[in-house]
C-alpha cells in the first residue's frame, strides 16, 4: 500500500494514471448505462477530470487539505463550485484519499 504525506502527493499519484491504457480498460469494465465510470476514475482519470481535481485542490484551504475527512457534503460542493469542477469527481477524489490514508 502506498502512503501519502498529503493531499497534493495523492493528487500527483492519481495524475500518473491519466489516460493510462490499463486504467482505460479498467474503466470500460465499470461503465454504467450512460457510458461513464465515475467510480473507477481514480484508476485512470481523463485529462479533464484530472484538471478538475487540480483546480479543486488549488482552491482548498490549508485546513481542508490537512483534514479532508472532516469535510461535509456541502463543503465539497462549495469547493467544486469554486474550482468549476464536477462535484462527483471531487467527492470521489477526497473520499479516495481519506480511504487510502486509513488503509496505510
The pLDDT score that the predictor gives to residue 22 is: 80
| 41 assigned to some structural domain | no
Q: Is residue 63 part of a domain?
A: yes
Most confident stretch, 1-5, 45-49, 61-65:
61-65
Residue 66 is assigned to a structural domain of this protein: yes
> Does residue 31 lie within any of the structural domains?
no
C-alpha cell of residue 13: 499519484
Tell me the whole-structure pTM to 2 decimals: 0.85
Inside any domain, residue 51: yes
* 83 part of a folded domain: yes
Output b/e per residue, 59-72; b: 16+ Cβ within 10 A: bbeeebeeebeebe
| Cβ neighbour number for residue 57 with a 10 Å cutoff | 23
> Which pLDDT score is estimated for 2?
75
User: Distance (Å, rounded) from C-alpha 12 to C-alpha 8?
Assistant: 6
- Count Cβ atoms below 10 Å from residue 54 Cβ, excluding itself: 16
Domain total of the chain: 1
Q: Which domain holds residue 91?
A: 7-18+46-103
74 occurs within a structural domain:
yes
Evaluate if residue 83 carries a pLDDT over 70. yes
Q: Is residue 25 part of a domain?
A: no
Asked if the model's pLDDT at residue 35 lies above 60, the reply is no
Give the pLDDT confidence score for residue 33 in this predicted structure: 60
User: With pLDDT > 90 as the criterion, what percentage of the chain qualifies?
Assistant: 65
Amino acid at each position: 500500500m502506498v502512503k501519502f504525506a498529503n493531499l497534493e502527493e495523492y493528487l500527483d499519484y492519481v495524475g500518473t494514471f491519466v489516460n493510462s491504457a490499463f486504467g482505460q480498460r479498467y474503466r470500460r469494465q465499470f461503465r454504467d448505462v450512460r457510458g461513464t465510470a465515475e467510480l473507477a476514475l481514480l484508476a485512470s482519470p481523463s485529462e479533464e477530470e484530472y484538471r478538475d481535481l487540480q483546480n479543486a485542490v488549488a482552491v482548498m484551504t490549508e485546513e481542508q487539505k490537512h483534514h479532508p475527512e472532516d469535510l461535509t457534503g456541502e463543503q465539497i460542493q462549495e469547493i467544486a463550485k469554486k474550482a468549476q469542477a464536477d462535484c462527483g469527481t471531487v467527492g470521489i477524489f477526497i473520499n479516495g484519499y481519506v480511504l487510502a490514508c486509513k488503509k496505510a
